[in-house]
Structure 1
Amino acid sequence: MWTMWPWAKAIRLLVLTSYKPHVAHLYNQVAIKPGQRLYMVNQLYPYTVRFTEETLTARSAAEGSNASKRSHRMSSEGNGEKIKSPANTTPSSDGSPPAKKTPPPGPDKAESAGHWSQGLKVSMQDPKMQVYKDDRVVVIKDKYPKARYHWLVLPWDSISSLKALRPEHVELLKHMQRVGDQMVRECRDAHKLHFRMGYHAIPSMSHVHLHVISQDFDSPCLKNKKHWNSFTTDYFVESQDVVAMLEHDGRVTVKEGASELLKLPLRCHACRKEQPTIPKLKEHLKTHLPA
């Protein structure tokens, strides 16, 4: 409400441009159209101006309600910016998470198909990514290889993680290992490079996948300590060890505190010499590359 008090011999001007307000003065009511100007001359009495909008239709009322909610949300977030989800994202490979639309649920819970951790499920269906497939598994190239040769063997069956494995999966894992062995045998550099096959104890990507990776680690995608330690410490569980656990215990157990292994110092996997930084480590690894 605006109240205007008279000044001696003063003339006041009020310009109203709001949406269809009504001006009530004593017993007079005047409807103002959008954009119309109202000139008020105050010589004697105070004026009280009340703004009221015309009755809204059901549709416009709903739109007004939504606008009010949007306005409230933006004001509560500050600077008019929308609240960002915990992560917006694109599919990434192990160790390269970028950002998410929803918080990642537990390994045994259903996840959104658009979530970055579901990227493998998309890649395994892409013919351009496939290098081998049969009725049980498919092999794809890792999008961000950590070595010269880095493949992922994935079952067609939906198995979210190592924790979801059961005794009935033993034969499937053995088949995955045989396919991995076949990939190594058919590699043109198999005679001069060493390979390992295994699983990450706590993978960043959903859907069980077996890494088949050469031990040169000669790749621009190997960028940080997490990448390195995920393949050169006990965080990387050998394929035959996973099969043995499943056969003996009926399940796969991940050691407590496995995530702490990613924080260990950078040590050469060949000579165990510690290196201060990734660039220094990569320079050192060149001394172990085959001629």
Structure 2
Amino acid sequence: MEGNADLGAAPSDLATSKHTAKRDAFSELLSPKPRQPKHARQSLAKDIQKKTHGPRDALGAYIAKPEAYPPNVVVYHNDDFVVIHDLFPKSTLHLLLLPRDATKTLVHPVEAFDDLEFLAKVKEEAKKVCALAAGELRRKYGKYSLHDREREEALDADPPPETLPAGRDWGKDIMCGIHAHPSMTHLHVHIISVDRCSDRLKHRKHYNSFSTPFFIDIDDFPLATDDPRRDPDRQGYLRRNFICWRCGRDFGNQFTHLKKHLEEEFNEWKRL
């Protein structure tokens, strides 16, 4: 296994260093790293584009040489997959799982996932990344969560209990899937928190691509031959009204009002 940590490390907990509970190298892959300033992220994006044929091909650079990027960009990589932080995240947590199979990486995901053996392999890796993402949500927001309060108190105990309370199921707050019409050339799977709270979420396409059937859950594959999501343009998913992902409120075409509402929903969501 290549990358930033041994994913087969002994089981443990995602608590911060002040806690004496056991820790897990897999969970710590997403622990805080020195954050790149905005100008550095912009420079990275331009550098990737120079090495490829254009912005749509930018993911190819990570697939070809993941070891060239710092741990706050590439989370981990192995012979079959690369996991990166999305350079333009549309939620507070947004990862991309990039298969490295040369026979599939330039194939549309709907077609690629008709190969059941390949699909099973992607689902297995995606499950690992989703667990990693859920652990990161707990690290970031567990201290605010009512359902995690007992667990947080147990972590602060001295000594901590042998068995921690289960706490909130953060895995339910992770979406995993693909876009019916991907914006990038190389096959990629989104692992993204449900909140859609990000300064990078700037217009209708950004929101509706994650909030309508345009986003296809990985567990829905393989798609039936008559599944309407195979023809997203005809369905007009991206042209639909803005519907809040959490409360279902219809904002019509009022994106500015939606954005303000999403911040309010985010603050409520993390306190559940």
TM-score, normalising length: structure 2: 0.59
Deviations 1:223-248 (A, max 9, x none): 00000000000000001112x43xx7
| Cα distance in 2 for residues equivalent to 1:253 and 1:261 | 9
Deviations 1:108-131 (A, max 9, x none): xxxx94132110111343422211
When residues 176 and 208 of structure 1 are mapped into structure 2, their CA distance, relative to the original with a 3 A threshold, is: farther
Task: Give the one of 115, 139, 156 matched to 2:54.
Answer: 115
Q: How many Å apart are 1:172 and its aligned residue?
A: 1.9
Task: Give the one of 207, 211, 214 matched to 1:235.
Answer: 214
Contact kept? 1:151, 1:213, Cα under 8 Å: yes
Contact kept? 1:91, 1:117, Cα under 8 Å: no
2:69 matched residue in structure 1 = 127
**3-state SS of paired residue (1:135):** coil
**3-state SS of paired residue (1:169):** helix
| Cα distance in 2 for residues equivalent to 1:278 and 1:208 | 29
| Cα distance in 2 for residues equivalent to 1:252 and 1:262 | 14
- Which letter maps to 1:267? I
| Cα distance in 1 for residues equivalent to 2:176 and 2:109 | 15
The yes-or-no answer on 1:218 pairing with 2:157 is no
Contact kept? 1:148, 1:218, Cα under 8 Å: yes
Q: How many Å apart are 1:267 and its aligned residue?
A: 1.1
When residues 261 and 149 of structure 1 are mapped into structure 2, their CA distance, relative to the original with a 3 A threshold, is: same
- Which letter maps to 2:120? E
Contact kept? 2:62, 2:82, Cα under 8 Å: no
Indicate the RMSD between aligned Cα atoms, in angstroms.
3.0
| Cα distance in 1 for residues equivalent to 2:174 and 2:234 | 23
1:177 matched residue in structure 2 = 126
Task: Give the one of 92, 98, 101 matched to 1:157.
Answer: 101
The yes-or-no answer on 1:284 pairing with 2:270 is no
- Which letter maps to 2:95? W
Deviations 1:48-72 (A, max 9, x none): xxxxxxxxxxxxxxxxxxxxxxxxx
| Cα distance in 2 for residues equivalent to 1:184 and 1:238 | 16
| Cα distance in 1 for residues equivalent to 2:202 and 2:54 | 23
1:148 matched residue in structure 2 = 92
When residues 135 and 182 of structure 1 are mapped into structure 2, their CA distance, relative to the original with a 3 A threshold, is: farther
Contact kept? 1:199, 1:209, Cα under 8 Å: yes
| Cα distance in 1 for residues equivalent to 2:247 and 2:45 | 34
Structure 1 segments unaligned to the other structure (5+ residues): 1-89, 93-99, 101-111
State which drifts further: 270-279 or 212-221: 270-279
Contact kept? 1:142, 1:151, Cα under 8 Å: yes
Task: Give the one of 117, 127, 138 matched to 1:168.
Answer: 117
Contact kept? 1:235, 1:258, Cα under 8 Å: no
Q: How many Å apart are 1:210 and its aligned residue?
A: 0.8
2:239 matched residue in structure 1 = 263
Q: Which has the higher helix share?
A: 2
Deviations 1:149-176 (A, max 9, x none): 0000011113222144123312222223
Q: How many Å apart are 1:138 and its aligned residue?
A: 1.0
Deviations 1:126-152 (A, max 9, x none): 422211222221100001000110000
Deviations 1:237-276 (A, max 9, x none): 001112x43xx77x99713535721111111111121224
Q: Is the radius of gyration larger for structure 1 or structure 2?
A: 1
- Which letter maps to 2:260? E
| Cα distance in 2 for residues equivalent to 1:220 and 1:256 | 26
The yes-or-no answer on 1:198 pairing with 2:198 is no
Contact kept? 1:150, 1:211, Cα under 8 Å: yes
Write out the 4+ residue segments of structure 1 that deviate beyond 4 Å after TM superposition.
190-193
| Cα distance in 2 for residues equivalent to 1:134 and 1:221 | 29
Deviations 1:79-131 (A, max 9, x none): xxxxxxxxxxx969xxxxxxx9xxxxxxxxxxx94132110111343422211
Q: How many Å apart are 1:203 and its aligned residue?
A: 0.2
When residues 252 and 267 of structure 1 are mapped into structure 2, their CA distance, relative to the original with a 3 A threshold, is: closer
Higher relative contact order (CA 8 A, sep 6+): 2
| Cα distance in 2 for residues equivalent to 1:174 and 1:143 | 23
